[in-house]
């Protein structure tokens, strides 16, 4: 039986702004198994992006339990959460977040710089990652010389460089045409088939159809 990689119990998130308190997540219970491909869907304001930030250790819940591989995330320090992000998590964003003055190879190498890998190791692993997403001929290109779909594939290569257990994709096809979207979703599906856990936020039913489970949210609760 697959292990539970993510387990939430009665998880809440409240934002405080002066005297105004906004309850964004309202007592969520959720389990994601290792190797699943899950899509989070819901209208703007449903809480799915807040949930994504908590799942990926970028934010902390206000109350409730978050267990990651049996480890209580709420008890971790900021440094411990940062170390877990670096070692176990890969991010793919709608806006790509590539550094414009670095070439493709240098962008993909960045996480390895923070991990303390040698220069030779960085170059080899980044080159292989880019070859795996079909960009082995674009190593010296700058981001502004790439199409949107190519930028997103660079972002995926960067997300995979530390061999993470979970890929978090936040609207990964939101800025792409239909052909590029299918290419990116195909890569995410391949990662899932290779055993990676993929959690994707999307507004698009066509994108969500690539997932094996769809979690629908509204007003801070899971509705289906």
Q: What is the pLDDT of residue 175?
A: 86
Considering the chain, what percentage of its residues have pLDDT values greater than 90? 76
CA proximity to 133, closest of 121, 120, 144, 146: 146
Average pLDDT over the chain, rounded to an integer: 92
Given pLDDT bands bounded at 50, 70 and 90, which one contains residue 116? confident
Q: In the chain, what's the furthest Cα-to-Cα distance?
A: 55
CATH number at residue 168: 3.40.50.300
Domain extent for 88: 36-48+77-222
Q: Give yes or no for a contact between 209 and 38, defined as CB atoms under 8 angstroms apart.
A: no
Cα dihedral sign, 8-171-146-179: positive
User: Looking at residue 114, what is its pLDDT?
Assistant: 80
Assess if residue 152 is contained within a domain.
Answer: yes
Total domains present in the chain: 1
Query: What is the token pair recorded at 38?
Result: 């899950």
* 62 is a domain residue: no
Establish if 6 belongs to a structural domain. no
What does the alpha-carbon distance between residue 30 and residue 8 come to, in Å, rounded to a whole number?
Answer: 5
pLDDT digits (tens, 9 = 90+) for 39-92: 999 988 899 989 999 999 999 999 999 999 999 999 999 999 988 998 899 999
Q: Is the pTM of this model over 0.95?
A: no
Closest CA to 201 of 173, 159, 163: 173
Tokens 């002066």 sit on residue:
18
68 occurs within a structural domain: no
139-159 tens-digit pLDDT:
999 999 999 999 999 999 999
Instruction: Let me know if residue 40 belongs to a domain.
Output: yes
Residue range 94-103: mean pLDDT, rounded? 91
Answer yes or no: is 126 within a domain. Answer: yes
Q: Would residue 7 count as lying in a domain?
A: no
Tell whether 44 is covered by a domain. Answer: yes
What pLDDT does residue 2 have? Answer: 66
């Amino acid at each position: 039986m697959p292990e539970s990689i993510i387990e939430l119990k009665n998880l809440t998130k409240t934002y405080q702004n002066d005297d105004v308190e906004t309850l964004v997540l309202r007592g969520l219970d959720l389990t994601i198994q290792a190797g699943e491909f899950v899509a989070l869907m819901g209208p703007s304001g449903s809480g799915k992006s807040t949930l994504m930030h908590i799942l990926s250790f970028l934010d902390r819940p206000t109350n409730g339990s978050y267990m990651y591989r049996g480890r209580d995330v709420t008890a971790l320090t900021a440094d411990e959460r940062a170390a877990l992000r670096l070692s176990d998590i890969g991010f793919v964003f709608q806006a790509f977040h590539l550094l414009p003055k670095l070439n493709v190879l240098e962008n993909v190498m960045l996480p390895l710089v923070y991990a303390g890998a040698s220069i030779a190791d960085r170059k080899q692993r980044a080159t292989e990652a880019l070859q795996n997403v079909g960009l082995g001929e674009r190593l010296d290109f700058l981001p502004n010389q790439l199409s949107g779909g190519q930028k997103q594939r660079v972002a995926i290569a960067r997300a995979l460089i530390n061999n993470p257990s979970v890929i978090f994709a936040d609207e990964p096809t939101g800025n792409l045409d239909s052909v590029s979207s299918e290419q990116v979703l195909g890569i995410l599906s391949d990662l899932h088939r290779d055993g990676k856990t993929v959690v994707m936020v999307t507004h698009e039913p066509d994108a969500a159809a690539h997932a094996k489970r769809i979690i629908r949210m509204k007003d801070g609760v899971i509705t289906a």
